[in-house]
Chains A and B, each alone.
Chain A
Amino acid sequence: MKKTALVLLSVLVTGCNQYQLVEGGQQKVGAFSVTATPIWNKVPSSHAPAGLPTWTVDGLPLNSLMFISDIEDGKPLVRTDGEDKYPSFHATMLPNELTELVQATCAKLFQATITETGELTPLTIADQPGFEVTFEFVGQDDVIRRALVGGTLKDQKLNVMVYQAARMHYFAKDFESARQMIVGANLP
C-alpha cells in the first residue's frame, strides 16, 4: 500500500514537471482565451520564468510566450519573494509607460539589458484599446533576443502577452503564430 502510494506520488510529481503539447484550437491561459496553433508546448510552472504561464516551441532558451493577466493596480507583473522587487503596474499608466514596465520586468526576469525599442502602436485586444510593441534585449548569454508584446487593460487590470525569441531565425519562425494569438485573444 505504502509502495503504491509512493509510485502514484512520483507519477504525479513527474507529470507536473513535464512539458505538454498544446492542442490546436481554443485554450484558456490565465485570464486569456486564445486560439492556439498546435506547435506550442506548455512549460511546467517549476521551469517557467517566475512561474508565469508560459509556452514554448523549441525550448525556453530559444523562444517563449508568456501570459501575464489580471495584474491589479500597484502590483508587479511577476510574483516576488519580498527581496526581489519588480516594478509595479499602475492603472493610470499610458502605453508608453506600460512598454517601459514590461521592458523593466523582462530585463530583471531575464537578467538582461534592453538594447532597442521598436515600433509602439495601438492594438485592439479583446475589444479593448491596447498596444503592441517590439524590443530587443541581451541576456547573460550574450544572445540577442527580440520580443513582441501585446497588452490591454480590462477593469483596471493589466493583461499582457510577451513573445520572445532569439533574434536569429527563431523570432521570425513563430512570429505569426504568436501574433495571431495576441491579436485574437479574448478576456472572457
Chain B
Amino acid sequence: MTIHGAVFGVAFTLAAAASATELTPLAPKFGPHHSPAVGTEAGLWMVSKQSEEVIQTSPRRLRDPHVEAYLHEVICRLTPDYCGDIRVYLVRMPYFNASMLPNGVMQVWSGLLLRVENEDQLASVLGHELGHFLRQHSLEQFESVKNKATLITIFTLGLGGAVAAGGISSGVAQSASVSSKIAMIGSVMAYGRGHESEADRFGLQLIAKAGYDPLAAARVWQNILDEDAASGDPKKSRSAFLASHPSPENRIADLRRASAALTTQGEKKAPSVSGRYYAVVARVLPTCFLDEVNLNQPGRSEFLFKRLLAAGFAPGLVNFYLGEIERRRSAGKLSDSARAYYEASVAEHDPPADSYRELGLWHLKAKQWDLARARLQEYLAAAPQANDRKMVDYYLQLVESHP
C-alpha cells in the first residue's frame, strides 16, 4: 500500500499551534489515478463497478446535471488531485446520508440537501466520506472481517436485487420507502468507531485546507441531533447516517475541539445561508420537499422546514410545504394554520402555483365561493399547463353554480 504523503505534504499552517495528537496530518493511502489490477482491492473495485451501474441506471437517481456537477465541484475543491477519480451521483432518497464505494463512486442522498444549510456544511459531509475513501477504510474493513464469504454475499445481495429491509443497518434506512439496493450499497461497509473518527479528522483537514469553515462539521451533527429531538421519537427515527455513525454527542465535542485547533480565528461564524449552495440545489429542492412531506413525519419535517425558513431560503416554497404539513395533519378538515401558511406563501415573491390552488380548495370547502374562484383562477393563471387543470375547471364550475 503506497502512502502518498506528498499529496498532502504541505501541513496546515496552523497545525503547529494545535495538539500533536489531534492534528497530526493524515495522508491518503493511495495516489491519484489509482487502479488496482490484482488482489483483494481489485476484487472490491470490480464489485463496486457493478454497484455503480446499479446507481447509474436506477430510476431513483435524480438526474440533474447541474446539481451533480456542483457536488463534484465541491469534491474537487476538497481533493483537487483526486478530482478526476471520483464520480458523484445524486439519489432520490429522502434521508440524510452519503456514502462512497472503494472505486471512487459517491452517492449523495437527496435528503442531505435539505439538511445542510450552506456549502461549508455540505463540504464537511463530503469531506468525511472522502476520508473513508482516501484512507481506504472499506478495504481495511474487508480485510479485517474474518468471514469474508459472508461479506461478499451481503455485498452481492446489495447489487443483485431483492434484499430484505432488515439487512440495512438500522433506523430510518429500514423504512419501507427506501430502495433496498441503493441503501444496501451505501451500508454494507458500515465502519467502526476508529474509521469514523479518522474520517472525521481527515474530512476536517480537507475542508480547512479548502477554505471552508471547519466548525461546519459539528454544526451538521448538532442539526441532525436537533432534528431527531424534534421528531418526537429520536431513537426510532434516527437518520441513516447517524445509525451507522456512533456517539454523535461525543463526536460533536471532538469535532469542535479539532476545528478550534485548525483555525486561529476561533469560532468562525458561518453564513446563515450560502447563496451559492441554495442557488444551485434549488433546482431539486421542490422534489426534496415533496418526498420529505410524503414520509409523513410531520414533527421532523416541520422542524426542517422552519429552519430553512429562518435561514431565509425561498419563503414562498417553504411556507407552502409548511401548509402541506398542516393540511395533512388536519385529516380532511379545514386547517386554519394550513391556510395561514398558504397565505404567507402567496405573499412572497416566489410562491409555487400550488399555494393558490390549495387556498382555492380551502375556500371551496369553506363555501367561500368568491375567494375560491379568485384563488383557483390565480392558480390556473400561474400554472396554465397544470396536470389537474380539468379538475380545477370542474371546481370552478361548482363555484359558479353557487352564486
Are B58 and A142 in contact (CB-based, < 8 A)?
Answer: yes
CB distance from A148 to the nearest CB of B (A): 14
A138 to B364, CA, bound (A): 33
Are A87 and B391 in contact (CB-based, < 8 A)?
Answer: no
Are B395 and A94 in contact (CB-based, < 8 A)?
Answer: yes
A144 to B391, CA, bound (A): 26
Chain A 109-121 against B: per-residue CB contact (8 Å), 1 yes, 0 no? Answer: 0011111011111
Are A113 and B92 in contact (CB-based, < 8 A)?
Answer: yes
Name the residue on B nearest A114 (C-beta): B294
Are B365 and A94 in contact (CB-based, < 8 A)?
Answer: yes
A183 to B69, CA, bound (A): 47
Q: Taking the complex as formed, is A179 at the interface, i.e. its CB lies under 8 A from any CB of chain B?
A: no
Chain B residues touching A, range:
20 to 34
Query: Which single member of B161, B176, B391 contacts A95 (CB below 8 Å)?
Result: B391
Segment at the interface with A among B177-185, B238-246, B275-283, B298-306: B177-185
Are A142 and B60 in contact (CB-based, < 8 A)?
Answer: yes
Query: Which single member of A96, A112, A143 contacts B388 (CB below 8 Å)?
Result: A96
Are A122 and B391 in contact (CB-based, < 8 A)?
Answer: yes
Are B331 and A88 in contact (CB-based, < 8 A)?
Answer: yes
Are B333 and A92 in contact (CB-based, < 8 A)?
Answer: yes
CB distance from B118 to the nearest CB of A (A): 27
Q: List, in ascending order, chain A residues with CB within 8 A of B291's CB.
A: 113
Are B391 and A120 in contact (CB-based, < 8 A)?
Answer: yes
| Max chain B Cβ within 10 angstroms of own Cβ: one of A115, A118, A144 | A115
Chain B 307-322 against A: per-residue CB contact (8 Å), 1 yes, 0 no? Answer: 0000000000000000
Which of A115-141 touch B at CB < 8 Å? 115, 117-122, 131, 138, 140-141
Q: Taking the complex as formed, is A16 at the interface, i.e. its CB lies under 8 A from any CB of chain B?
A: no
Name the residue on A nearest B365 (C-beta): A92
Are A144 and B331 in contact (CB-based, < 8 A)?
Answer: no
Query: Besides the contacts A90-B333, A93-B332, A140-B179, what 10 more A-B pairs have beta carbons closer than 8 Å?
Result: A94-B361, A94-B395, A95-B391, A97-B361, A104-B296, A111-B176, A119-B388, A121-B390, A140-B165, A142-B58
11 A-B pairs with CB atoms under 8 Å apart are A87-B296, A88-B332, A92-B333, A96-B388, A115-B92, A122-B391, A138-B179, A140-B179, A141-B162, A142-B59, A142-B60
